[in-house]
Chains A and B, each alone.
Chain A
Amino acid sequence: MKLLVPVKRVIDYNVKVRVKSDQSGVDLANVKMSMNPFDEIAVEEAVRMKEAGTAQEIVVVSIGPEKAQDQIRQALAMGADRGLLVKTEAETEPLGVATLLKAIVEEEKPDLVIMGKQAIDDDCNQTGQMLAALLGWPQGTFASKIEKKDGEIHVTREIDGGLQTVSLKLPAVVTTDLRLNEPRYASLPNIMKAKKKPLDVKDPSDYGVDLKPRLEVLKVTEPPKREGGVKVETVAELVDKLKNEAGVL
């Protein structure tokens, strides 16, 4: 199988995110950026498939700024074979990214696209589903286990009621959940080897896709500060508060 793994450059999960004073977005100046953790899980899964012999080639693609090459190199150091950066300074949105990924899929012809279920910056959780729809491919989202059996992919999904297993005909799109695997470290020798792996840089216009944002940001604000709770003395007081203060009874 040939695998395509899209990865996104996002604000590092350890960073305390700050809202810009003009409320136009979050402050990205001098902020540590990393690979989206769910995408890292997708890369790890792809590398394990290759190590197990079920996959032969792993192509990593990122749509984002020049610096997103760092995240592609990280994926190459983890074991991917080849990288592709589609360079854009535009704020990326799920539909634009899915449309561009569709064009990349048509060119690369992978058997399976594995990607994070969502990116931790905007938490959209839409791109994988949109890509599957645009391609007319089957999809297995929130995967906690992926197995290849008799030419099909069996995906165990984490859903509200427990686990569900779906079998997908190839080609297909799979999105990864947190418990699928624990990504490996990119070792120093592999970081050095990754420098020599091919990494192409292209432009959205090479695929005839316009990434212009379709959404308008009105304002970005901090979530409201959590206030301390109160202790009630009696059940009657609780009922009274639920009825008259919270208005839920």
Chain B
Amino acid sequence: MVRPLDFDSTRLPSPHTGESHEAWRRTVRAFVDREIAPYVNEWDERGEFPRALHRKAAEIGLIGLGYPEDYGGTSDGVDVFHSLIASEELARAGAGGLIAGLMTHGIGLPPILALGPEALKRRIAPPVLAGEKLIALCVTEPSGGSDVARLKTRAVRRGDVYIVNGEKTYITTGMRADYLTVAVRTGGDGAGGLSFLLIEADRKGVSRAPLPKMGWWMSDTASIRFDDVEVPAENLIGAENQGFAGIVANFNMERLSMAAQAIAFARVCLADAADWALARETFGKPLAKHQVIRHKLAEMLRSVLAAQAFLDHCAWRVKNGVTPVAALALLKTQASRTMEFCAREAMQILGGAGFIRGCRVERIYREVRVMAIGGGSEEIMLDLAARQSGL
């Protein structure tokens, strides 16, 4: 049975999903088709998307997905596959900046829910999960990102407040965020001296500047300075000097979700390249009938299916309560390389048409690097896996 290459046919049937997953896929797909896909080119060129989209996404349950019901989330009956389906279907619009901007709370909120005092959770989580307030995670600094244990931004306790000084950079949604979840040094050197502090973005002494980027145009990225910012001590997330575990715990879910996105972007590239290869005629026949092109498509499919199987397997382990750190690090690398390969090959197949702005492949090509660097660079991922393997 011949099945043409499209976004759905390039996905392996999953043994891990059931009726509620497919129903959820239908909802997110309809939401993307109606509220997102028609506008992504315009939003990307404009460098922003409407803030109202956060509330609309909250209404369908996208923002609250996987978060506790007590704070306005949906967790009953929800597993990791529901969130991977959301990542995948959002990626179908072919605009990574949309996901980065719309789902920033996925990295900003978990430290509060994992470590924070109840009063702070009650104050911050419900408006964020309703799509009314935006929250960003601030870890990376101008002096370094991957080496989290050496962060320099300092918070000094003075009576009932902390005084914060320092600078953060490459902060996704940093310009628009109402709340900042900031990793600060409260103790001595190394991982044991780090804490998380919730800093309202409108506090005196917080200044921000936008950073223009290679891709992800519709999502803002900021450099943020803290000059003698006074923060009430009740904004401390968890115990003092216990922040490092919170930073690291967040990484595994982020890697899984980024892998799902990267593989979905690869599927978009494959589907669009296949469409073009069947329609475009050269030397008297469709591109797809030239061996040099059809083999490119077959190679893309091969890499997509392998990455997909790896993703489903890792997600299944996570669903069963296991955190396979090394496998997740390698999965993220596998996924970004699959995306890179497919974006490259799709651009070659599209030729001049792919070089013109306004098509999904062109945008995805510009977003390859952020997927291979952000959320743990390929180099850091490989080294982590090596260490986990006793090397």
Contacts and interface: CB of A to CB of B under 8 A. Distances in A.
Contacts of A77: 23
A32 B1 CA distance: 16
Nearest to A77: B23
B22 A70 contact: yes
Q: How large is the interface on B (under 10, 10 to 19, 20 to 34, 35 or more residues)?
A: 20 to 34
B26 A192 contact: no
A77 B360 CA distance: 32
A177 B61 CA distance: 29
Interface string B63-74: 011000000001
Contacts, number: 55
Interface stretch (B76-84, B102-110, B322-330): B76-84
B23 A73 contact: yes
A195 interface: yes
B1 A188 contact: no
Contacts of B62: 188
A189 interface: yes
Given A30-B1, A77-B23, A185 B30 contact: yes
Contacts of B387: none
A48 to B, nearest CB: 16
B123 interface: no
A79 B180 CA distance: 37
A192 B60 contact: no
Contacts of A188: 24, 27, 60-62, 64-65, 74, 78, 82
Interface string B1-26: 10100001100000000011011101
A70 B19 contact: yes
Interface in B69-101: 74, 76-78, 82
B272 to A, nearest CB: 16
Contacts of A185: 27, 30-31, 59-60
Interface of B: 1, 3, 8-9, 19-20, 22-24, 26-27, 30-31, 59-62, 64-65, 74, 76-78, 82
Which A-B residue pairs are the 5 nearest by beta carbons?
A: A188-B61, A187-B61, A192-B77, A189-B74, A185-B60
26 contacts: A34-B26, A69-B19, A70-B19, A70-B22, A73-B19, A185-B27, A185-B30, A185-B31, A185-B60, A186-B23, A186-B27, A187-B60, A188-B24, A188-B62, A188-B64, A188-B74, A188-B78, A189-B61, A189-B64, A189-B74, A191-B20, A191-B27, A192-B76, A192-B77, A192-B78, A194-B23
